[in-house]
Amino acid sequence: MSAYESASHYFQTAAGVMDLSPNMQKLLLTPEREVKVQVAMKMDNGDIATFVGFRMQHNSARGPMKGGLRFHHEVDADEVLALASLMTWKTAVVDIPYGGAKGGISVDPRSLSGNELELMTRKFVDELQDVIGPDKDIPAPDMGTNAQVMAWIVNQYEKFHGFNPAIVTGKPLELHGADGREEATGRGVGLLTEALLGKFDRTASESTIAIQGFGNVGSWAADYLHSAGARVVAISDISGAFYDSKGIHIPAAIAYVREHGTLKGFETEKMITNEELLELEVDVLIPAALGGVLTKENAGNVRASYIVEAANGPVDPEADDILQSKEIIVLPDILANAGGVTVSYFEWVQNQQYFKWDLDRTRNELSKKLTAAFDKMWSIATEKHISLRSAAYLIGIGRVGRATVLAGI
């Protein structure tokens, strides 16, 4: 099943519970605009390279569209569209005044020099600058992009449109970024994991955790949960998975990655594969790398009691059915990783108001937003006897649908 088919399947399951008409379903599923561009450039050695870039603008019923930019060799139109639609429901679930979009370039950024990465980013902005904007569509970091890439985007966009820090979020602090944005997605994953455990009268400090992916999201989630006393027994990145039954010292792992750029070579009790990590006997499994890692082939082997979807789309619908039949509770991506877009919204608000918040304020507001969304999702799921995923979609689709109808079609 493709990424877009998976995302549509989850939408349709919730739409069925809501009795949404087929016409309304079609309207809400169809993207407003799909942009595909050629990014051609001269490489350091003089060769000409041509990359394909996308910006999928799914829905703007509730406000300017918002979503990350991904530089990864597996980026394609189907995946970007699926991720754009997830952003529409995600921004609605946490009730921030945005729609959904997503973009990316099909490239392995590790194969580019620093100069090539900068040039490719600037050329991409040249192609997109008339369809994005602080009140139209606001990009942010995602896999393979970071604060430096956002800095290049602002600078290039401003060559066309003048001073405009609110054009992207996830910027460096020196260029109007927000304190707390970098940690936000992982911190949100941590906060929501605690909220979920709390519903079962459990705490992080008595739980074991396995985390796939140790980039921005995985490492900050690990850091938060480690500080809350959880035993993080496995972490991983593209180089493999690292297991320690006594619990991995997360600050040491973070320091190691800062120094070496990867976990490769980090000392641990034993090495396992990324596939084995997903099947460990732990309380909480947190996939925080790629989409589509749990499928009908391996879902039956999952031994965790709870799955917190830090990555976008890590569980495909067939796997979701299997997990439900095993009574494994899945906290869905459209809420689990919404901490990032929530603090992106705070960054945009600060940029629009030329007023900087301190870290405490950001953390408090983040906690309020995520807790309110979690409580609403939980009460709908309980009341209607549906999964947390369907309940979250119900909230998101309901808000977008009502905004669409009220504005007039």
Contact 247, 232 (CB under 8 A): yes
Catalytic one among 26, 42, 66, 102? 102
For residues 204 to 243, the per-residue mask of contacts with ligand NAD, x marking binding by CB under 6 A and - elsewhere, is --------xxxxxxx-----------------xxx-----
CB nearer to ligand NAD: pick between 157 and 266: 266
Q: How many residues does the chain have?
A: 409
Options 7-15, 286-294, 355-363, 389-397: segment touching ligand NAD (CB under 6 A): 286-294
Distance in Å, CB of 351 to ligand NAD, minimum: 17
The maximal CA–CA distance of the chain, rounded, in angstroms, is: 63
With contacts defined by CB under 6 A, how many residues of the chain interact with ligand NAD? Answer: 25
Tell me if 290 contacts ligand NAD by CB under 6 A: yes
What are the CA-CA distances from residue 202 to residues 137, 310, 355 (Å)? 40, 20, 39
CB nearer to ligand NAD: pick between 165 and 292: 292
CB nearer to ligand NAD: pick between 95 and 158: 95
Distance in Å, CB of 395 to ligand NAD, minimum: 18
**Placement of tokens 């979609």 in the chain:** 393
Distance in Å, CB of 128 to ligand NAD, minimum: 19
Tell me if 67 contacts ligand NAD by CB under 6 A: no
Q: Interface residues for ligand NAD in 142-161 (CB under 6 A)?
A: 142-144
Angle between helical axes of 22-29 and 3-18 (0-180°, round to 10): 140
Classify each residue of 60-76 as buried b or exposed e, where b means 16 or more C-beta atoms within 10 Å of its C-beta: bbbbbbbbbbbbbeebb
Tell me if 351 contacts ligand NAD by CB under 6 A: no
For residues 309 to 348, the per-residue mask of contacts with ligand NAD, x marking binding by CB under 6 A and - elsewhere, is -xxx------------------------x--x--------
**Placement of tokens 């619990």 in the chain:** 247
| Residue 102 designated active-site | yes
Token representation of residue 38: 């050629």
3-class secondary structure per residue, 200-246: CCCCHHHCEEEEECCCHHHHHHHHHHHHCCCEEEEEEECCEEEECCC
Helix/strand/coil for 39:
strand
Strands 48-59 and 33-42: antiparallel
Token representation of residue 179: 């304190």
Tell me if 250 contacts ligand NAD by CB under 6 A: no
Query: What residue ranges bind ligand NAD (CB under 6 A)?
Result: 141-144, 185, 212-218, 236-238, 274, 288-291, 310-312, 337, 340
Active-site positions read 102
